[in-house]
Structure 1
Amino acid sequence: MKHVAKLAAAAALGALMGSTALAEGLYTPNLAYRTGPFAATGIPLMNGQADYMAMLNARDGGIGGVPVDFEECETGYSTEKGVECYEKTKGKAIVTQPWSTGITLQVLPKTNVDEIPILAPGYGFSPMADGKVFQWAFNAPLSYWDGASIILKFLQDQGDLSGKKVAFLHLDHPFGKEPLPYLETKAEALGFELLPIPVGLKEMQNQSAQWLQIRRERPDYVIMWGWGAMNAGAITEAVKTKFPMENMLGVWWSGHDADLDIVGEEGKGYKSVSWSFPNPDAPVMADVKQHVIDAGKSQASAEELDGVFYSRGLVISAILAEGIHVAQEHFDKAEISPSDLRWGLENLDMSEARLEELGLTGMVPPFSTSCSNHAGHSGGWILEWDGAKFVKASDLIMPDSEAISELEVSRAMEYAEANAPWPVNEDCEM
């Protein structure tokens, strides 16, 4: 009955714009990376994203009766190629999905001129959460600073961090450096020693120097901000050096099933913060299977379907689709503009009830956005590798919103001043 109601609503909304709009579709290009050193993690995410939109097209005729054109532009995670893809697709796009902090930082100033929303769920530049300064950028459901905060809260639950040593093993890339401002602030406040250990792009698969330093420094914990081949390299080295896996925690991009499969039982106890979780019994999974997988329209392997990253891809496209849906309803039209979508992304209300309606129960924490809050700050779970799969090792942990908000505002204004003249939405109340 819910699907019948959805189809009826979609048809009614689609009729508002006539056949021309239906032919044009909603162009939502994805700056994908199925090649290069980060492909192993990119592929399941891209497959999940594409399959969700393919499911909406097959099941509902798109969003609001308008088909979604989810074209991919391959970047190989290269910032230069990413900017080329942005320029190539921006002409008719209602959104850009950069998929790299480096690409996001290059595209960020352009969106003020082009007036196209950036959607970077759980990645990008953390101060983008300040919607007053970054009017066109969204990193919902939470930022990297939120993730760092959740990790530290979890560690504090294990015992006082005062006097402890925390190694920060990170990709030597804008992505890997993102949480440093928050971690440095908290290290001073909580009295622990923060030991940054960068991993160069050419060192991802051979981290012997970094793990020699870890063995020498003997940190109490290792927080890993890794991506792609770096994850497997670090986990393999940790096992080889007999670092206690229960004391190693990664960001959500360092919680990929395939990376832990390499070490299997020896990786037991490794943890990752996450704002998504696979739920094979969720209604959305049944719909994707029926309309996409069984129909032979998916590139996903059978192993991917129950994994953390494939389901996260579904959630990411669900966030975009909901932004489109909210904008369509508010502006009473099916063919929306980039500025319409910006309004939709600023007015998300992914409540428990709405997540249930979308068939996403248990797959993402509830969150909402506003004019000033472009992240949502949803909170996250700690996942733990049990030797064969990731399981939830905590209830939902909310980030330290007060400290993060202060940092967001100050760093956002620093960015605006450094890139003056920078338009600020003075009508946007905190």
Structure 2
Amino acid sequence: MKRREFLRKLGVGSLAALGMPYFAAAQARPVKLATLLPLTGPFAFAGNAGREGFVDGVEYVNEVLGGIGGRRLELIVEDTGYDVARGTAAFNRVVARERPDELLFVYGDSTGLSKALAPEIARTNLPYSATSFSNELADPRTYPTIFVFGPTYNDMMEALLRQVRLQRPRARIAFVYSNTEFGRDPIPYGRERARALGMEVVHEEVTPPAFTDATPVVLNLRRANPDFVILQGYALSVEPLILRAAREQGLQAQFMGTYYSAELALIQRAGPAAEGFTVTYHNAYWYEALIPAVEEMRRFRQRKGRDASYRPTYYMGSLAVAFGIAEAMRRAAQAGRLTRAGVVEHLEKIGDYNAMGLVRDFNFVNHRLPQTRLFRASVREGRFNAITDWLRLG
């Protein structure tokens, strides 16, 4: 399909098809999206890739889609260092500085930060999401303006345990997780669900979010002798270390992880030890050439003089979120409701919009997107390959 025809199907005008914005920058005040990301600290790799995704998404919305109802979408970026106190201070700074009729969305960096901010988010009726997929946050009765742009960690655990049951119904399970809100979030559900499915939880290992020697962890796993080990609460900070140590010590268990482990850097860092590592992942990979967004954003980055080679999963997730937020804003503007309440309203009914294939759809159920796919690492190919179609998770 030619690009002009493709953009017409998205509802983009002829000027946008030529790559030209069709609004005047000074026509109206900007609409603002603030992002609080870990640009430093243990998850800086993910945070900086995410920032890049938001930058590209916002620039694409402005330069190709014409902004938000004739208004420019402006991105605000603050570094949190993956620290709740720093993130809270950044949030308070942004909210105090910006006008409520301009700041229409805030995106945070973690489960811990999101829970800390939740009362103030509720008080200000501020639309909010985060890198977190916390089950607690996906509750519109308690948090009516918070959205989880993917399945919750409980959903991801469900998907992995279903796969375990297919492979070995009476499997022995071990959980290895970080001592963070991120790490602990789905473990109670995982324990209960594994037992309900007839599996035995034989070991749990709680670690810092980053460390340099995985030998003690793997020695404990060898004593427990699990069939499957599920890692949770890391973002490439230790998974390669654990996989390499497990291979060196002859541990035969199959390893699994959730969204933040589903990145090619894991294969590159772990080498042969990554073979067969199974993950949940709900966005497109940059190498999925049949996804319209991949080709479109590759061309966009080339026009901007930016590197168009492989972009990490954290980039792809942030790009999808940026497009989803912008689409809800655009629909709210068309309805004459470009307000915080209007953005929430239109996110709740955004439905089949899929950000050019970056997600299956934005059909929120209890303010989350309850679907994912499972992928398995192939060291020879240097990529994760899908082993399931889309799984619906309640």
Is the pair's TM-score, using the shorter chain for normalization, greater than 0.5?
yes
1:265 aligns with 2:272: yes
Output the CA distance in 2 between the equivalents of 1:141 and 1:255: 14
Contact 1:250 1:272 in 2 (8 A): yes
Would you say the 8 A contact 2:111–2:182 is kept in 1?
A: yes
> Within 5 Å, which residues of 2 pair with 1:270-285?
270-278=277-285, 279-285=288-294
- Corresponding residue of 1:147: 156
Contact persistence 2:302–2:308 (CA under 8 A):
no
The number of aligned residues is: 372
Post-superposition shift, 1:10? 10
- Aligned match of 1:60: 65
Match of 1:393 among 369, 387, 394: 387
Higher RCO (Cα < 8 Å, 6 or more apart): 1
Tell me how far 1:54 sits from its aligned partner. Answer: 1.4
Partner of 1:234: 242
Within a 5 Å distance, the mapping from 1:274-313 to structure 2 comes to: 274-278=281-285, 279-296=288-305, 298=306, 301-305=307-311, 307-313=312-318
Q: Secondary structure at the match of 1:127?
A: coil
Matches within 5 A, 1:160-171: 160-161=169-170, 164-171=171-178
TM-score, normalized by length of structure 2? 0.86
Q: Does 1:100 align with 2:113?
A: no
Q: Cα 1:83–1:22, aligned 2, differ >3 Å: closer, same or farther?
A: farther
The Cα shift of 1:165 comes to 2.0
Distance verdict in 2 for CA 1:394–1:25, change over 3 Å: same
SS at match of 2:229: strand
What CA distance in whole angstroms lies between the structure 2 residues aligned with 1:328 and 1:141?
Answer: 25
8 Å Cα contact 2:184-2:233 kept in structure 1: no
> Which residue in 1 is equivalent to 2:345?
343
**Runs (5+) with no aligned partner, structure 2:** 17-22
Q: How does 1:118-137 map to 2 (within 5 A)?
A: 118-120=128-130, 123-137=132-146
1:410 is matched with which residue? Answer: none
Aligned to 2:20: none
More strand by share: 2
Match of 1:380? Answer: 372
Residue 417 (structure 1) aligns with: none
Work out the CA distance in 2 between the residues paired with 1:54 and 1:160: 48
Q: What's the CA shift for 1:160?
A: 0.9
Partner SS for 1:65: coil
Task: Quote how far apart the aligned CAs of 1:196 are.
Answer: 2.0
Partners of 1:341 and 1:41 in 2: CA distance: 27
Instruction: Give me the CA root mean square deviation.
Output: 2.4
Identical aligned residues as a percent: 21
Q: How far apart, CA to CA, are the structure 2 residues paired with 1:227 and 1:137?
A: 23
Q: In 2, Cα distance between the equivalents of 1:302 and 1:213?
A: 43
| Equivalent in the alignment of 2:19 | none
Counterpart among 352, 358, 366 of residue 361 in structure 2:
366
Q: Give the aligned residue type for 1:392.
A: A
Cα distance, 1:302 vs structure 2:
4.9
Q: Measured at CA, do residues 38 and 72 of structure 1 come closer, stay the same or move farther in structure 2, by a change above 3 Å? A: same
Query: Among 185, 192, 196, which residue is 2:199 paired with?
Result: 192
Q: Per-residue deviation at 1:188?
A: 3.2
Match of 1:75 in 2: 80
TM-score using structure 1 length:
0.80
CA pair 310-19 structure 1, distance change in 2 beyond 3 A: closer
C-alpha separation between the residues in 2 aligned to 1:138 and 1:21? 31
